[in-house]
Amino acid sequence: MSARTAGLVACRNCGQVHQIDTARCKRCDSPLQSRDAQSLQKVWAWLIAGIIAYIPANTYPMLLTSTLTDRSESTIIGGVIELVDYGAIGIALVVFVASVVIPVGKFVAIMYLAISVQRGSYRNQHGRHRAYDVVEFIGRWSMIDVFVVAILSALVQLATIATINPGIAAVSFALSVIFTMLAAQSFDPRLIWDADRTIHD
Amino acid sequence: MTDTPPSGPAPMNIRPAKTPVMQRLALVWIVPIIALAVSLGAAWQSYSDRGVRITIAFDNAAGVQAGATEIRYRDIRVGLVEAVEFDEGLSTILVHARVDQDIAPYLDADAQFWVVRPDVSVRGISGLDTVLSGVYIEGNWNTTADVAQTNFTGLNRPVLTRANQRGTTILLQSDNAGSIAAGAPVLHKGLEVGYLEEPQLNFDGSGVVVQAFIEAPFDRRITSSTRFWDVSGFSVSFGAGGVALNVNSLASLIEGGVEFDTIVSGGDPITDGQSFTIYSSEQVARDSLFVDPSAEVLRVAVLFEEAVTGLVRGADVRFQGIRIGEVSEISAIVVGEGNEAEVRLQAVLDIQPSRLGLGADATADAAMTLLSDFVQRGLRARMVTGNILSGSLFVELAQIEDALPAIMARTSGRYPVIPTTESNISDVAATAEGVLARINALPVEELMNGAIDMMDSIERLVDSDDTRAVPSSVIALLDEARGLVGSEDLQAVPAELRSVIAEIDAIVASANDADLVTSLDNVLAVAASAIGNIEVATRNLPRITAEIEALTIRANQLELDALVTSAASTLDAIDAFVASEDTRALPGSLNGALDELRAVMADLREGGAVGNVNTLLASANAAARAVEDAVSTLPELSAQAGRLVAQSETVVASFGERSRFNAETLATLREIQAAANAVSALARAIQRNPNSLLTGR
C-alpha cells in the first residue's frame, strides 16, 4: 500500500501528509505532487546535458599553469598521468576517483535508475533506492575538483613568477556536476516502488 | 427475422485524450540542446581556427620543444611548435608547427625562420628573455602574400634586416674580413645608420663581400661617389700635426665598423645591391676619389744616389705640393759599366696625367711631353721629408733655378728617367737638437737690453732741447731770409744797383788804386768758405745715416749668430753715437752755424755788399736745404732703428712662441697628452663601469 493508493500525498520537502488533491503544502508552501509525470524526461535531459558538458571537461585543459620558465596546460587525465609519473600514486588516485570515477559512476547510476524505472523493473528495489541515495549524497562532493581549481587560481597569482588560471574544462566540469546533480534531483524515487505495486496489485 | 438489437450500450473504448507531444515534453530539454549546440559550435570553431601546419628544417634546434616553443613574428606569437623530429638520415631536424590561419598566406618563398637564443655581444645582450622562457622561433617575411609554402629551411643565425625595414642594401667589398663582423655598425658622420651582414668570400675567393643595410633616410646620402672606409679598432698616426689617436665606439673597437661619406657631389643615385669598396682608412678613401682607376698612368723612373730609407711604396709624388701620383716600385739598378759601374736606387713613379692639370682624359704621352718640357726648364726630382717624426719621405718634383741642363732620358732602362737633385732630407733628431742648441746660445737678453738702450737714447735725443730748437731756428732763419728779401734795402737794390754799379765803377776805378776789391773778395771768400764748411758738416749727417743704413742692411744679411751679435754691437754703436757728446752737440753746433749765418747776413745787409748776394743766397739756400735734409733724415734714422728692432724681434720671435716649429712641438705634446688623457679616461670609465664592456655604453 502506498500513500497514493490511500489518497494521500506527502510533501517532498518537509514530509507533511496531505489529501491527494491538495495543491500546495500547508506547512512549507511547496507544490505537492503525488507522482512527477515528467520526472524521467527531466532526468534524461539533465543527464544528457551533463554528459555533453563532461566531454570538453576532459579534452580541454583544466589548469593553465605558467611559471617563469614554463607554461603548461593540463587536462584531468593528463594531470593524473603526470602525477603517476612523479610517483604520487595516492594523489593521482584521489584526483582520478573524484574527477573520473565518480562522475562517470553517477552517469551510469542515473542511467540505470531511469532505464529500470522505464522498464517497470521490480527487482532489487531496495538496492536501487540505496543507489539513488548515494548518488544524491555524493553529488555535492563532486564539486571538489572545481573548488581546488578555484582556490589555486585565487591563491597562485604571483604575476610573472607563477600563475594558475582555470581552463575551459573547469567550467565544463562544474556544469557537468551541476547538470548531474539536477538529474539526480529530478529523479522521483517513488517511481522505483510503483513498478512493484503494479505487479502485486 | 431474428434481428435482435443489442441489449445494452456498446462497451466504450475509453482512452485518455492524447496530449500533444509538445506539452508532454518537459521544458528542461532545452538545456541539453543548448549544451550540445555550444559544444558542437566550439568544436567546429576550434577546428576551423586550427592553424596551418608548416615544417621548418633546422640544422640546430637546441631548446625547441614541442607544444611549448612559439613562433613569433615581430615579437607577437603567431604559431606553436607541435612536433620536433629528425628527417630521414638524421641530417636535419624537422620542426612541425601550426601558424595562425591569417598569417599563413604571407609565408611565401621569402619567409625566413631562425631560433632566437640569448646572444651576448659587444653591442649588447639580446634574447635575454629566452634564458628563462625558453627559445622561440622568430619568423620574418614581407607583407605581400604570394604563393604560400609549408616547407621552409631555418637559418642558423638571425637575419639583421627585417622585411619592410626601409632602407637600401648595398654590397661592400674588402680584401679581408679581419675588421668586419656581422652586425658591425655602418657609421655616417659618427651616427649609426646601418649595419653589416655576415661577411662572405667572394666567388673567386680573392676577397670578402659583405652586405650592408643602410636605413632610410640615410641611404639617400649614398651616391656613386660615396666612399666607405674601415673604422675598426683605433688608429695612431704620427703626422705633421702631432700624434693622433683615434678611437671609435667600443663596439667598433671590437667588432669593427665601416664609415662612409659622400665627399664630392654629383654622384648618381644608387640602387639596391650596388657595390662599393671598403678602403683601409679615411685618407685612402678620400684620395681614391681623385684617382680614376681606368685613367692612364705615366710611369717614370728616378735614380737616387743617396739612400732611400724612409721612402716606401705608395709614398706620395708631389708636384708643387699637389699629389700627382705615387711611388709604385723601389729597386736597385746598376748604372754604367766596368769600373764606372755603380748601384743606384731606382724609384718608379706612377703619375696621374689628370693630376698634372691636363684634363680628365689626358694620355700618358701628353704628360710625358709636359714633363720633359718641364725637365728642360729645370724640373728635378728629389726626396723630401714628409714627416719629421716618422722620417717618411716623399718624392717631390721641384723647379730648380740654377739646375744644370738636362733632358728626360727616354732610352736608358724601361722607363724615362727624371734627373734628380740634392734631396732635402732632414734628420729630425739632429735638426731639433741643433735648433734647440742655437736657441739656447742666442744672446737674447743682451739683444733686448741693447734694443732698450737704443730706444732710450733715441728718446733722449728726440727729447733734448737742442733737437727741439732745430725747427724753431730754421723758422727764424727763414724769417731772416724773408726779412732780408722783404727789406727796403734789398728792394732798393735795383734802384741802388745803378748807383752801386756807378759806385762800383768808381770803386773799381778807385779799387784799382787801392786794394779794396781784393780785400772785399777775401771777406766774401771767407764767408763763403764758412758757409761751405757748414754745408759739408751738415752733408756729413746724411752720410752717417746712410752708413747706419748700410750697417743695418749688413746686419740684416748677417748669419743668425753673427746677426744677433752684430745687431747688439750695432745697437751699441748707435747708442754710443747717439749718446756721444758730438751728436748731442750737433744740434747745438747747427744752431751756432745758423747764428753765424744770420750774423753774416746781418753783416751783409749792414755792409751793403750786394755784389755776391746771389751766390750768398744760393749758398744759404743750400745750407738751409742741407740742414733740412739733416733734420728730415732724423725720423728716418729712428724709423730705421725701429725696423732693426722689429727685425730683431722677428728673429727672436721666430724662435719664440709663435714659431711653427715651436707650435708644432707644442701641438704634438698637447695631442699626446690628449691621447693619454683619452686612454686613461677610457680605462677609468671601464674600471668604474665594467659592464659597459658588455652593454657597449
Backbone angles phi, psi at A144, to 5 degrees: -55, -40
The reported pLDDT for the residue numbered B615 is 53
pLDDT in tens, B551-580: 666 645 545 555 556 556 656 666 665 566
pLDDT in tens, A137-171: 887 777 877 888 888 888 877 777 788 888 888 88
Give residue B180's pLDDT band: very low, low, confident or very high (50, 70, 90).
Answer: confident
Give contacts of A53 with chain B, Cβ < 8 Å.
35, 39
Is any Cβ of chain B less than 8 angstroms from the Cβ of A161? no
Average the pLDDT over B436-462 and give the result: 83
pLDDT in tens, B256-270: 788 888 877 667 788
Look at residue B613 and tell me whether its pLDDT is greater than 50: no
Q: Are A192 and A125 in contact (CB under 8 A)?
A: yes
Q: Are B304 and B422 in contact (CB under 8 A)?
A: no
Give residue B95's pLDDT band: very low, low, confident or very high (50, 70, 90).
Answer: very high
Look at residue A200 and tell me whether its pLDDT is greater than 50: no
Listed ranges A131-135, B5-9, B595-599; the one with the highest mean pLDDT: A131-135
Question: Average model confidence (pLDDT) for chain A?
Answer: 82
CA dist., res. B231 & res. B282, Å (int)? 8
Q: Are A118 and A40 in contact (CB under 8 A)?
A: yes
Look at residue B648 and tell me whether its pLDDT is greater than 60: no
Please spell the DSSP secondary structure of A24-73, one letter per residue.
Answer: B-TTT-PBP-SS-TTHHHHHHHHHHHHHHHHHHHHHS-SEEEEESS-EEE
CA dist., res. A168 & res. A62, Å (int)? 7
pLDDT in tens, B336-386: 777 777 787 888 888 877 777 776 667 778 888 888 888 888 888 888 877
Average the pLDDT over B620-633 and give the result: 55
Give contacts of B32 with chain A, Cβ < 8 Å.
45-46, 48-49, 52
CB-based contact A179 B35, cutoff 8 Å: yes
CB-based contact B32 A52, cutoff 8 Å: yes
Residue whose C-alpha is closest to residue B169's, from B216, B107, B231 = B216
DSSP letter, residue B588: H
CB-based contact A68 B132, cutoff 8 Å: yes
Question: Average model confidence (pLDDT) for chain B?
Answer: 73
Cell of A173: 566540469
DSSP letter, residue A201: -
Look at residue B611 and tell me whether its pLDDT is greater than 50: no
Give residue B587's pLDDT band: very low, low, confident or very high (50, 70, 90).
Answer: low
Average the pLDDT over B28-33 and give the result: 84
Higher pLDDT, B465 or A60: A60
Q: Which among B26, B32, B68 has the least Cβ separation from residue A49? A: B32
Give residue B55's pLDDT band: very low, low, confident or very high (50, 70, 90).
Answer: very high
The reported pLDDT for the residue numbered B258 is 84
Which region among A130-144, B36-50, B199-213, B412-426 has the lowest average model confidence (pLDDT)? B412-426
Give contacts of A42 with chain B, Cβ < 8 Å.
26, 28
CA dist., res. B566 & res. B570, Å (int)? 6
Average the pLDDT over B225-240 and give the result: 72
The reported pLDDT for the residue numbered B579 is 61
CA dist., res. B607 & res. B516, Å (int)? 14
Q: Which among A69, A175, A179 has the least Cβ separation from residue B132? A: A69
Which region among B58-62, B290-294, B631-635 has the lowest average model confidence (pLDDT)? B631-635
Residue whose C-alpha is closest to residue B412's, from B327, B303, B312 = B303
Average the pLDDT over B14-37 and give the result: 74
Give contacts of B128 with chain A, Cβ < 8 Å.
none
The reported pLDDT for the residue numbered B657 is 47
Look at residue B548 and tell me whether its pLDDT is greater than 70: no
Higher pLDDT, B635 or B390: B390
Which residues touch A31 (CB under 8 Å, ≥6 apart)?
A23, A24, A25
Give pTM, 2 decimals. 0.44
Cell of B326: 705615387
CA dist., res. B260 & res. B189, Å (int)? 8
Do you find a cis peptide bond into B32, omega within 30 degrees of 0?
Answer: no
Look at residue B407 and tell me whether its pLDDT is greater than 80: no
Q: How far is B40 from chain A (nearest CA, A)?
A: 10
User: Distances from the Cα of B269 to the Cαs of A2, B224, B289, B533, in angstroms?
Assistant: 105, 6, 17, 91
Residue whose C-alpha is closest to residue A26's, from A35, A34, A18 = A18
Cell of A113: 535508475
Residue whose C-alpha is closest to residue B213's, from B266, B273, B284 = B273
The reported pLDDT for the residue numbered B437 is 83
Distance spanning both ends of chain A, measured CA to CA: 9
Q: Are A48 and A182 in contact (CB under 8 A)?
A: no
Residue whose C-alpha is closest to residue B134's, from B84, B83, B71, B79 = B71
The reported pLDDT for the residue numbered B234 is 67
Listed ranges A96-100, B125-129, B508-512, B660-664; the one with the highest mean pLDDT: A96-100
Residue type, B44: W
Give residue B628's pLDDT band: very low, low, confident or very high (50, 70, 90).
Answer: low
Look at residue B459 and tell me whether its pLDDT is greater than 80: yes
Give residue B521's pLDDT band: very low, low, confident or very high (50, 70, 90).
Answer: low
pLDDT in tens, A10-52: 887 787 888 877 778 888 888 777 676 677 888 888 899 999 9
Q: Number of C-alpha atoms within 13 angstroms, CB side, residue B526?
A: 9
Which region among B176-190, B405-419, B452-466, B603-617 has the lowest average model confidence (pLDDT)? B603-617
Name the closest residue on chain B to residue A72, using Cα atoms. Answer: B68
Cell of B235: 688608429
Q: Which among B25, B42, B133 has the least Cβ separation from residue A41? A: B25
Is the dihedral angle over the CA atoms B200, B202, B204, B207 positive or is it negative?
negative
Residue of A38, A65, A68, A82 best to disrupt the B interface, most CBs of B under 10 A: A38
Average the pLDDT over B145-151 and give the result: 83
A198, burial (CB in 10 Å: exposed 0-12, middle 13-18, buried 19+): exposed
Average the pLDDT over B266-279 and give the result: 80
Residue whose C-alpha is closest to residue B298's, from B366, B231, B212 = B366
Residue type, A114: A
Q: What is the CA radius of gyration of chain B?
A: 54
